[in-house]
Structure 1
Amino acid sequence: MGILQLVLVLAVLVLLVKPLGTYVYHVFSNEPNRMDRVFGPVERGIYRLIGLKRRDGMTWKRYALSFLLTNIVLVALSYLILRLQSLLPLNPNKIGGMEQTLTFNTVISFITNTNLQHYSGETGLSYFSQMAVIIMMMFTSAATGFSVAIAFVRGLTSRGRTIGNFFEDFVKAHTRIFLPFATVITLILVALNVPLTLDPTLTVTTLEGAAQHIAIGPVAALESIKHLGTNGGGFFGVNSAHPFENPNPLTNVIEMLSMWALPASLPYVYGKFANNKKQGWVVFGAMMTLFLAFLTLTYTSELRGNPALNALGMDASQGSMEGKEVRFGIAQSALFTTVTTAATTGSVNNMHDTLTPLGGLAPLAEMMLNCVFGGKGVGLVNMLMYAILAVFLAGLMVGRTPEFLGRKIEPREMKLIAVAILAHPFIILVPTAIALMTDAGRAGVTNPGFHGISQALYEMTSSAANNGSGFEGLADNTPFWNISTGIVMLLGRYISMIAMLAVAGSLVRKSWVPETVGTFRTDNVLFWGILIGTVLIIGALTFLPAIVLGPVAEHLTLR
């Protein structure tokens, strides 16, 4: 039954890729289509409101500056709201202002689409803060990532001279994708008993006569965009393990598909832009192959249970249920774990800190690679970065100037790609080492063994990959962890984005080179294998020693 559940969800996902990808392509192709009749008037009103009289294409520098300035304004506004929330309306539970370093961490976390939570949502934020800051940035950060991914694809595939207009892409991402989809999913979740209210916390009397406080609020509205935008920040501290956020297996599947479907459709969108759907399916196939490998590792590890407990003769027929909800079981917990880290969402329906060592290795490795579907555009951009690298290496081996989609790959592009590739492990491994070397960092580690290394490594990896999930045994609400992870989240988000926009800007200016008999094809099974091999080799060279010190060593110790 567990395998059947996995297969059914995977089948639904694959069936959604083509129609959803076609829709997204029509949103951003800037070609007239039937959707203009519905969304056009609203968008033109927004353009007039923000003073966007002309929607000319931008250079990569102007595109990058536009999204950076937009994000800076949103960060400043959000910081003020969180610090002053005790003075603002819609605060029936009288929650005070947020502490400085925690506020810094929170606004950086949500603007970077990470949604790492060093606070507990139901006790740390007012309803106004949940809606005006958290939900608002869930929309805007997702729209920013989506826009940058589309701009990068245009740079690779377009024969024009620009990569599009950021503000037009940003508005369309809201009006045509996230707002309508989030509205529908919110209504579905409400129908499935997820709360949506502005009433204060309920106080009820139990059968034993004790008073119990039950937090409620606009949960369904947050849940929908939390998953659609691959955000992950939960209304409640325990996230989607909470029965108000995720009541039953049906809502569990809806939430998984919500966070997975859009990232999975982007390779198809890329194929449409390239006017060669095989290109998109090769990228999708590479992502899915890696995903299935990690899902298999997680599922089998959790199904086998804890080796140390099994050695004591305990009943292992149910697998390792520690930290998991009985209503989901091993299969849906393992699938949720793999999806949420593949799509860099960070939402959790079980506690990753309680996974078996190899079960915890899979989500950790997915975030380290950061290209197994990925979040809103991040996974596609990173996988295409590896595709360009694979073409470059293959070109060197056969003595040809490498070409990708009709454009020559030259030293400038490879230098920028090298920056993006090397920055990711650097901003994970160096801060992890600092955390384990300093008293302030070690103070948050609650397990002194190999698992403690995994706790610190997972926190920094999650921050750098803009995922947001964590090994929740880590005591992370301290100035050290708030500031350090805040900096890592900033670097993890913007270094790669700016570098890849620069690559797109460089390629879009180049003349198109027609294919010849000697052109290295990137739309066949051979390139699928080369692409997977490139990802795994780069990942192993950069992260294998750290993984050996953490989950691998813990697994061998338990055995």
Structure 2
Amino acid sequence: MNHSAFFQIALYMGVLTVLAVPLGIYIAKAMNGEKNALTWLIQPVEKLCYKIFGIDPAEEMSWKPYSVALIAFNLLGVLAIYALQRLQLTLPLNPQALPAVSPDSSFNTAVSFVTNTNWQGYTPETTMSYLTQMLGLSVQNFLSTATGLAVAVALIRGFARHTVQSIGNFWIDMTRGTLYILLPLAFIFAVGLMSQGVIQNFDGYKTADLVEKLDYTVPKVDAAGAPVLDAAGKPVVEAQSTATQTLPMGPVASQEAIKMVGTNGGGFFNANSAHPFENPTPFANFLQMIAIFLIPAALCVTFGKMIGDKRQGWAIFAVMTILFVAFAGFAIYAEQQGNPMFDKLGIDQSVNDATLVSQAGGNMEGKEARFGIAASGLFATITTAASCGAVNGMHDSFTPLGGMVPLILMKLGEVVFGGVGAGLYGMLIFAILAVFIAGLMIGRTPEYLGKKIEAYEMKMIAISILIGPLLVLAGTAIAVLAADGKAGIANPGAHGFTEILYAFVSATNNNGSAFSGLSANTPFYNVMLAIAMWFGRFWIIVPILAVAGSLAAKKRLTPTAGTLPTHGPLFVSLLLGTVIIVGALTYIPALALGPIVEHLIMVAQ
């Protein structure tokens, strides 16, 4: 790894840490209903929302009503987004007259955006109208993010409270999370992105003249749209040319801001954050990377403040930071080593300082020259450590080991900062598991933050940890056996297997990024991945809320000489080991069949 990569990682973590502290304190105040910097501006709107929707700010819920409200609200979200896509041809703000989206793609997209996954099996600029993008996808970017934030705050209350049955009110948590946190941050980042050239308009698509005429061929089709074949049965192609290019427009900056701030992912354009209208400059790229981790990092500070012990929050932050820096460094290093198969084609992958050749050094396939290997590898690590899924380069073109990093980060449950709310509550589940393991080793009833960890909590935690591997491995197995599953593979062998594995890992862990070689916009994958997204989200959330309710009802124990300190280097090491062993080793056989064997094949060529 070169000096540029070290500098970028250090600068990123420095800026992130500085911003996370005040934001974390602000989030704690906002979610507790305390007076904060924006109370004067937002509180009247908050009270109006409660009045319109009949919410009693003084009413709280136990974990079961909280879970029911959460599931019901998100089911309504699926129905609303599905309807928007199916009816978009008859609705306004559709200057291109884009037709209705197919039923299976509409179903997949609706589940995807409700679960904070934002998996996109379609080309956005030729599929979704402006209204669908804004009223459906952008609005759900706020609501799905607020859902994850609400669950994290409910779990924190479980640790902070004692001998009570309530963990908060879902409707209040959703309202405060949206109004006080997501909307202001999205506005700030949208303005920042527009200053860098990210477009924001409602114009029809533009036509631009090309500098040179482009000649190309397309398959010839008959009147029914079927391909025309020659005497040998091969498709007939016909020559075409164009001197113009269509440039899509739209309200991009506003969606880009919340997709990053809310760790949603997806993109207004198919090229995502590699598109110059979404991510035009290196500074815009840095802003987007900061936006992805900002709330997840701040929630570590929020956790420490709400439970009354800042050291606990910093211990969680330390574990996340160590894992992130290690994986980011490895991903960048793997890409900077290049692909030995390119060397055999006579492609120079080294930096030539003598002739000042503009070569980033390493594997530049699928990467934007504007960002280079270090920024692309860093972005890939950030977006898959968080449940974001936005990309500024094609993960499918990474080296086998470089592409394995996003896979492993998602397989950890995306707890390395992770999605908004999801990263914190996922890491706290591992923390509870770590103290349980420590308790078994010394024959003492485990406890965490003054709460005994007993059989009920461990059953719920086991469900939340095991559901991910079950969905990923079972889904991948079905796909590689089914004819419809194998039909979507563009690359044979180990890489094709990795494409399918990546799709189910991404869907189950609500990430949304993809190895682009897999053709996933088919009824088979649209339905299978939607199932993985839904249960990967809510079969984890409900057990976590059950744990929150159980902890809130427990008495708080006074620390003794036998209590395991959970804020020092020993606990950080224990938690690191638990995350790696439990989170990653489950998938070693699958990784061996995919990126590991692909790497061995590559170096043996």
Question: TM-score, normalization: structure 1?
Answer: 0.98
The DSSP-based 3-state class of the residue aligned with 2:211 is coil
Question: 1: CA distance between counterparts of 2:309 and 2:344?
Answer: 54
CA separation of 1:34 and 1:349: change in aligned 2, threshold 3 A: closer
The DSSP-based 3-state class of the residue aligned with 1:262 is helix
1:555 partnered with 2:599: yes
The answer for the alignment partner of 1:211 in structure 2 is: 244
Q: How does 1:24-103 map to 2 (within 5 A)?
A: 24-33=27-36, 35-103=38-106
Residue 467 of structure 1 and its aligned partner are, at CA, apart by 0.3
Question: 2: CA distance between counterparts of 1:184 and 1:36?
Answer: 17
Question: Which of 176, 191, 194 is residue 187 of structure 1 equivalent to?
Answer: 191
The answer for the alignment partner of 1:340 in structure 2 is: 383
Question: How many residue pairs align between the two structures?
Answer: 559
The answer for the alignment partner of 2:362 in structure 1 is: 319
Question: 2: CA distance between counterparts of 1:542 and 1:53?
Answer: 45
Residue 126 of structure 1 and its aligned partner are, at CA, apart by 0.5
Q: How does 1:247-396 map to 2 (within 5 A)?
A: 247-310=280-343, 314-317=347-350, 318-370=361-413, 371-396=415-440
Question: 2: CA distance between counterparts of 1:162 and 1:249?
Answer: 46
Question: 2: CA distance between counterparts of 1:315 and 1:278?
Answer: 49
Contact 2:86 / 2:106 at 8 angstroms: preserved in 1?
A: yes
The answer for the alignment partner of 1:461 in structure 2 is: 505
The answer for the alignment partner of 1:3 in structure 2 is: 6
1:402 partnered with 2:446: yes
The answer for the alignment partner of 1:16 in structure 2 is: 19
The answer for the alignment partner of 2:174 in structure 1 is: 170
Please tell me the residue identity of whatever aligns with 2:389.
G
Question: 2: CA distance between counterparts of 1:282 and 1:18?
Answer: 14
Residue 314 of structure 1 and its aligned partner are, at CA, apart by 3.7
Contact 2:412 / 2:584 at 8 angstroms: preserved in 1?
A: no
The DSSP-based 3-state class of the residue aligned with 1:212 is strand
Greater Cα shift, 203-212 or 392-401: 203-212
Please tell me the residue identity of whatever aligns with 2:66.
Y
The DSSP-based 3-state class of the residue aligned with 1:84 is helix
Contact 1:241 / 1:350 at 8 angstroms: preserved in 2?
A: yes
Residue 9 of structure 1 and its aligned partner are, at CA, apart by 1.5
Please tell me the residue identity of whatever aligns with 1:492.
G
Question: 2: CA distance between counterparts of 1:242 and 1:83?
Answer: 27
Contact 1:55 / 1:168 at 8 angstroms: preserved in 2?
A: no
Question: 2: CA distance between counterparts of 1:208 and 1:227?
Answer: 36
Please tell me the residue identity of whatever aligns with 1:65.
V
Residue 19 of structure 1 and its aligned partner are, at CA, apart by 1.1
Question: 2: CA distance between counterparts of 1:373 and 1:528?
Answer: 15
Unaligned runs of 5+ in 2: 214-242, 351-360
Please tell me the residue identity of whatever aligns with 2:268.
F
The DSSP-based 3-state class of the residue aligned with 1:206 is strand
Q: How does 1:516-527 map to 2 (within 5 A)?
A: 516-527=560-571
Question: Whose Rg is larger?
Answer: 2
1:118 partnered with 2:130: no
1:150 partnered with 2:193: no
Please tell me the residue identity of whatever aligns with 2:324.
F
Q: How does 1:437-516 map to 2 (within 5 A)?
A: 437-516=481-560
Please tell me the residue identity of whatever aligns with 2:293.
W
CA separation of 1:540 and 1:139: change in aligned 2, threshold 3 A: closer
Q: Encode CA deviations 1:381-400: one digit per residue, 9 max, x unaligned.
A: 11110110110111111111
Question: 2: CA distance between counterparts of 1:439 and 1:409?
Answer: 46
Greater Cα shift, 79-88 or 205-214: 205-214
Question: Which of 201, 208, 225 is residue 258 of structure 2 equivalent to?
Answer: 225
Contact 2:28 / 2:305 at 8 angstroms: preserved in 1?
A: yes
The DSSP-based 3-state class of the residue aligned with 2:369 is coil
Question: 2: CA distance between counterparts of 1:34 and 1:77?
Answer: 34
Question: 2: CA distance between counterparts of 1:192 and 1:233?
Answer: 20
Question: 2: CA distance between counterparts of 1:523 and 1:328?
Answer: 38
Question: 1: CA distance between counterparts of 2:207 and 2:349?
Answer: 40
CA separation of 1:452 and 1:254: change in aligned 2, threshold 3 A: same
Q: Encode CA deviations 1:342-398: one digit per residue, 9 max, x unaligned.
A: 111000000000000000000100000021111011111111101101101111111
Please tell me the residue identity of whatever aligns with 1:408.
K
1:241 partnered with 2:274: yes
Q: Encode CA deviations 1:453-479: one digit per residue, 9 max, x unaligned.
A: 110000000001100000011011100
Question: 1: CA distance between counterparts of 2:71 and 2:465?
Answer: 21
Please tell me the residue identity of whatever aligns with 1:349.
N
Residue 512 of structure 1 and its aligned partner are, at CA, apart by 1.3
The DSSP-based 3-state class of the residue aligned with 1:117 is coil
Contact 2:260 / 2:291 at 8 angstroms: preserved in 1?
A: yes
Residue 311 of structure 1 and its aligned partner are, at CA, apart by 5.6
Please tell me the residue identity of whatever aligns with 1:62.
P
Residue 54 of structure 1 and its aligned partner are, at CA, apart by 4.1
Contact 2:267 / 2:273 at 8 angstroms: preserved in 1?
A: yes
Contact 1:6 / 1:332 at 8 angstroms: preserved in 2?
A: no
The DSSP-based 3-state class of the residue aligned with 1:56 is coil
Question: 2: CA distance between counterparts of 1:230 and 1:517?
Answer: 41
Question: 2: CA distance between counterparts of 1:240 and 1:208?
Answer: 26
Question: 2: CA distance between counterparts of 1:475 and 1:43?
Answer: 44
Question: 1: CA distance between counterparts of 2:412 and 2:456?
Answer: 23
Question: 1: CA distance between counterparts of 2:60 and 2:562?
Answer: 34
Contact 2:85 / 2:100 at 8 angstroms: preserved in 1?
A: yes
The answer for the alignment partner of 2:216 in structure 1 is: none
CA separation of 1:521 and 1:101: change in aligned 2, threshold 3 A: same
Unaligned runs of 5+ in 1: none
Q: Encode CA deviations 1:252-308: one digit per residue, 9 max, x unaligned.
A: 000000111111111111111121111111111111111111101100000011132
Q: Encode CA deviations 1:52-90: one digit per residue, 9 max, x unaligned.
A: 134312100111111111111121111111001000001
Please tell me the residue identity of whatever aligns with 1:5.
Q
